[in-house]
Amino acid sequence: MKIGLMVSFSRPSKSGEHPFEPTLRFASDAGLDGVELCFDPKPPYDHHYGAWSEDMKGEESKKIAELCKSHGIEIASLCSDWPWGYSRYCPTFDHWSRGLEILRQDIRASSDLGVRVLLTHFGVTKAASWDEAKGVLLKLSAEAEDNGVVLGFEGGLWANTGLGGLRELCKMVDEVGSDNLGVYEHCYWPRGDMRPHEEIELVGKRIVGLHSGKIDAVNVDYEAMLKALRHYYDRYWVLEIDREDVRESLSSLRALMGKYWE
C-alpha cells in the first residue's frame, strides 16, 4: 500500500513557478508516494492559491501531469473540498444546481488527469429526504461511470446530511448500486464511536479510499486496522495532517506496515 498526503496548490517559491510545484517538491523530499489534490478556490493551506477543476483543461492538465512526472509523485486521488464553503450559503439541495455542475466538472477533471478516485461530500448541506440524497448520488454516479472515475463519499461526513451515520451511508451506496460510488474511509477514533478496524469491517468492499490523521499508536490498534484493510483495500493511505507532522507520521506508518502488512 502506498502513502500520500492531502494537499492543495500553494504560493510559488519563485517567479513563473506553477503553484503545484512547491507541494510536489515537498512530497518528493518527504519520501511520499503521491498526493491527494483538493479542489478548493480558497484552501486552508494558502488562501491565495487554490486548485479549481474548471481551470484544469487542455494545457493545464498536461502541465500538471508533467510536473508530477518530473517530481516522481503521482496524484493518488482528488478531493472536492469546496462544499464546506458552498454549503454554508446553500444549506439545502434546493440551491445546489451550481454545486452539482461543479461536482460534474470535478469528475471530468479527474478523468482528464488520469485520476481514478474522487473524494466527495456535501459539506453541511442537509437533505430533505433519503430519496432526495439518493437522486443526487445517482446522477453523480452516472457522470462518474461515463468518465471512468470512482466517487468516494467521506464516511464521517455523511452524518451532516441528517440521514444517519456510516451504516446508513453503506446502505445508500448499496441502494445506488454503482461500481462508481463507494465509501472514503476516515475514522475519527478516539473522538468517534467505532475503532478503525471496526469501521473498515463495516464498510468492507465498499471502501475506495482511506484518510487518517497523525499516526497515534497510543489510541489506535494498527495491527488490527491493517489486518482488516488487507481483506478489502490496498491502494493509498492518505494522511490529512500538517506538513510539519508528515515525516514523523510517514516514518511511523512505514514501520507499522513493515511489521503488520508485508
Does the pLDDT of residue 46 top 90, yes or no? no
Decide: 237 and 212 in contact? Cβ < 8 Å. yes
Q: Helix 130-147 and helix 166-176: axis angle, to 10°?
A: 60
Confidence of residue 48 (pLDDT cuts 50, 70, 90): low
Residue keyed to cell 454549503:
87
Cis status, amide bond into 190, omega within 30 of 0: yes
pLDDT confidence of 45, banded at 50, 70, 90?
low
Q: What is the pLDDT of residues 172-183, one digit of tens each?
A: 999 999 999 999
- Per the prediction, the chain carries an average pLDDT of 94
Please report the DSSP string for 235-251 in residue order. Answer: SEEEE-S-GGGHHHHHH
pLDDT beyond 80 at 138: yes
What percent of the chain clears pLDDT 70, i.e. is strictly above it? 97
pLDDT band at 43; cut points 50, 70, 90? low
Determine the topology of domain 2-260 in CATH.
TIM Barrel (3.20.20)
pLDDT per residue over 90-129, tens digit each? 999 999 999 999 999 999 999 999 999 999 999 999 999 9
CA distances from 113 to 37, 122, 211 (A): 11, 23, 21
Are 133 and 123 within 8 A, CB to CB? no
